[in-house]
Amino acid sequence: MKIQAERGLLFLDDTTYVFDADGLVMGRLASIAAELLIKSARADRDDKVIIVNAEKAIITGSKDSVFAKYHSKYKLNHARKGPYFPRMPDMIMKRSVRGMLPYQSKTSGRRALKNLRVEIGTPSFLADGMPEGHEEGDVSAIKRGLPDRFVRLGEVSANLGAPTHRWGDN
C-alpha cells in the first residue's frame, strides 16, 4: 500500500483483495470478506473485495441435507413480496456475505456491501495475473483439505434450477 499526501492529509491507497473460492468453505470465506469490508468501511477507506470462481466454493454437509436447506430457503420466495433468495452461485455467495454485514442499520455496512463483487469464473482482467492495486486475499486461516461430505455451490444452484451454461463444469 502506498501512502499519498494530498492537501496536507495522509491517506492510504485503496486496495482490491481477490479471493479464489475454489475448494474453500463458503461461510468461512464470507466471514473473512465481511471482516475486511467492514473494517475498511469503518476506517473510512474503500478497500474492495472480489471473489472469483464462486461456483466452486463448497458447502459442508451431506448432499441431501444441503439441497433440502437451500430448497426450503428458495421456496420462501414470493414474486412481489419477497424474501428474494437467489439461485445463481455468485448471488448466493454475495447474500451470505451480506448476512454478516450490518447493511440495514449502519452506513458503514451499506458502504462495505457496495465494495463487494462476486464473479462466476475468473474475469478476463484477472486471468493473466494481478493488475496494479490488486492483491491476493489471505486464506491461510481457512484453507484446509476437502471434507468427507460437501457440495459445490454450482451444484446447489443447478439443483435450484439456475441456468448452468454460465459456468462450465458442475
Structure confidence by residue, pLDDT tens digits, 23-78 = 999 999 999 999 999 999 999 888 999 999 999 999 999 999 999 999 998 888 88
Grid cell in block for residue 121 = 469464473
Q: So what's the pLDDT on residue 61?
A: 94
Phi, psi of 58 (to 5 degrees): -115, 155
**d(C-alpha 154, C-alpha 152), whole Å:** 5
Cell 455468485 identifies what position?
90
Stated pTM of the model: 0.87
- The string of DSSP letters for 40-82 reads HHHTT---EEEEE-GGG-EEES-HHHHHHHHHHHHHT--TTT-
Domains of the chain, CATH where assigned = 3-166 (3.90.1180.10)
Q: So what's the pLDDT on residue 125?
A: 85
More confident residue, 169 or 151: 151
Q: Which helix (H) or strand (E) holds 154?
A: helix 153-160
pLDDT band at 12 (very low <50, low <70, confident <90, very high): low
Q: So what's the pLDDT on residue 9?
A: 47
Q: So what's the pLDDT on residue 133?
A: 84
Scored b (16 or more CB within 10 A) or e, 74-112 reads beeeeeeeeeebbbbbbbbbbebbbebbebeeeebbebb
pLDDT tens readout for residues 123-154: 888 888 888 888 898 888 898 888 899 999 99
Write the CB contacts of 91 (distance below 8 Å, at least 6 apart in sequence).
118
pLDDT tens readout for residues 68-125: 999 998 888 887 888 888 999 999 999 999 999 998 888 889 999 999 999 999 888 8
* Count of CA atoms in the C-beta half-sphere (13 A) of 17: 19
